[in-house]
Amino acid sequence: DLSAAASLPTKEAKGQFVFDALRSTAERTQKDLRQYLDDQGVTYTPFYIANKIYVASGDLNTVLSIAARPDVSKITANQQFQLQPPEEMQPAADNALAIEPNLTFVHADDVWALGYDGEGTVLAGNDTGLAWNHPAIINHYRGWDGVTANHNYNWWDATGTYPMVPADGYGHGTHTAGTMVGDDGGSNQIGMAPGAKTIHCKNMTDGGSGDDASFTTCFQWDLAPWDLSGNNPNPAMAPDAVTNSWGYWGGNNPVFEDEIAALQAAGIAVEVSAGNEGTGCASLRSPGDYLQVITTGSVQHTGGVLPGTITGFSSRGPSDLYPNDYFPDVMAPGEAIRSSVPGGIYEAWSGTSMAGPHVTGLIGLMWSASPALRGDIAETYDAIYDTAIRLVGQGGSNCGGNYVDGPNNDWGFGTIDSLAAVEEAILRGGPNFTITAAPAARNICAPSNAQYAIDLAQILGYNYPVNLSLTGNPPGTAVNFTPPAVLPPGNSTLTVGNTGSAPAGNYEMTITGTGTDPEAKTHSTMVALNLYNSAPGTPTLIYPIGVDQPLVPAFQWNAASQGAMYLLVVKNLSSGALQYAVTQDTSYTFGAPLDPLTIYAWSVRTYNPCGAGSFAQFGFFRTQDIPPILVVDDDDNAPDVRSTYTAVLDGLGLGYDVWDTANSDNEPDAAYLQQYEVVIWFTGDEFGGSAGP
């Protein structure tokens, strides 16, 4: 029973309660069955987001013995899913229009003009993956701080394809993420909520297929993301909203209702695309017909004036799960939507998958503007419904419902109006405050103090003092707010002192403001404190060492104790030329190739606020000669055509190197290609993909 979560004051509190309740229930009720499966040597995965166990091995006797148990209510197959591909996918690399017309159509730019761009919210995708370093994505990916990447709690691959680093061999997840948050800082403004952060759970393979287990895994990760080892789930790292652009091929099926109901109880909004199987009635698939989700259909936005025209491919209700309700809920632009795809490029795709992220991004805008509404799913959805622009005169009464005021089974309540929805969210949230802190991180050497500037902004005339507190600070430190209570709009200074008594380490601290109003509104923000108490140690060099090293080597070294920054020095022993780089990472690759057949010496020195460490013992290597030919195998083995090229080169007695992209975005960049006189780059039958860096 998760109903008690509704009365909790913050989204964080809701999420922690739901996580604890579900996990304790699963541990208690699954205990005996898990022990039985262990005794039988059966491979299985237990879940708590829904009270299920995925059994991956066994035979008929296993099934029958489980079926006979009184603690098992149902056994189902691990159903397979296939992503319905977009209706159309077209290159769109050279027609950047600054703010894309689909965004101005729904008035997202008018919301930005009010000062709300989604900042402070996290929007997730459950999709085919994420090209996290795409220029329009990288600065909006929560796992990137501008210098280094940390994919823990920000990426999970339920298919096992890319377990450690986000990637997207299909492109669908990258395209939807771009429509949620994308912006390259220049002319490619493609995302609804460019101030929001994004994270991703890959629930479908690069071929667009998934199953019950992979989808349930991602829903569970949404509730409480875990690290890359699959451990330490943390509901405080949960997203605010999740976009889903897939459907159950078997039609209407409640298989994921428990999972989505749990996410809703935890204050996490779940958006689902309606599907591309219109125009017939009852063409919409699950989970688009669940009552807990907000389902999005597609409109054509040509002409630039709301509400647009419903697209022919957009799926319609009713659903036999809930025949008295209406689906989809709302509409958004879904035709020729220009967004990001792997390879750093842009393409225009069409489908309700392209419409859905507009709504997820809208939720980010609403909760950024009205923090009091954050985690209140019902109130948020109602605000979107009430402000949607009705498509009067479209759809007739063919599929059922109210075709004047909505809802109905063709266009629901109408097309989203971002400005109206955000203004409604602010009104519904009532007087409130926001809290921000700067800088996001401090690096200090003990016993120095760390200081942060705190700003409290006022919404709708909020006039109650806000008490400030801090958690997560290093043990033994002293915390002081000056002043400790602020009447918004106002400021305070946080000082973390007595750092000499604390162990060195990296600390994530939470600044919380608790209002003295009758509802005791609470908002928080996070800052980092990287504490050092001695000069750093000496790193150990790993690579490159020895002869025949590539002309663009990836220099690597072991981390030094208490290392914050690393200075890499590389010397050409023939010319005496030096190259330098400063990085927070333990690896670095220069953009230009080194000289061929040349001996180099290199070393690394570590720095932190307490001082500098010693240079590592020098490493030496000799570069290879310029290889004449590079063969880039980008066929994804669909089919494998490498031998078509290498057999000819072998027959001619020509030397060559091979780079296999291995069905991923791991492609050679321009600097690497400069090593070669000739590049042969080939693809096979790669549906919807592209070749070249």
Q: How far is CA 634 from the centre of its chain?
A: 26
* Burial degree of 230 (CB within 10 A; 0-12, 13-18, 19+): exposed
Please tell me the distance from the alpha carbon of residue 510 to that of residue 527, in angstroms, as a whole number.
6
In the chain, the N- to C-terminal Cα span, in Å, equals 51
Residues forming the active site: 127, 172, 353
Distances (CA, A) of 255 to 53, 212, 251: 13, 8, 11
Q: For tokens 């409130």, what's the residue? A: 432
The span from the CA of 415 to the CA of 379, in Å, is 18
**Gap between the Cα atoms of 636 and 631, Å rounded:** 14
Distance CA 467, CA 121 (A): 23
Quote the tokens at residue 71: 């603690």
Token pair of 367 as six digits: 């909760």
Is residue 310 a contact partner of residue 298, using CB atoms and an 8 Å limit?
A: yes
Element (H, E) at 63: helix 60-67
User: Which three-class secondary structure state does DSSP give residue 302?
Assistant: coil
| DSSP per residue, 330-371 | EEEE-SSEEEEETTTEEEEEESHHHHHHHHHHHHHHHHHH-G
Give me the long-range contacts of 636-643 (CB less than 8 A, separation at least 24): 636/169, 636/206, 636/661, 636/663, 636/683, 636/684, 636/686, 636/689, 637/663, 637/684, 638/684, 638/685, 638/686, 639/684, 639/685, 640/684, 641/682, 641/684, 642/682
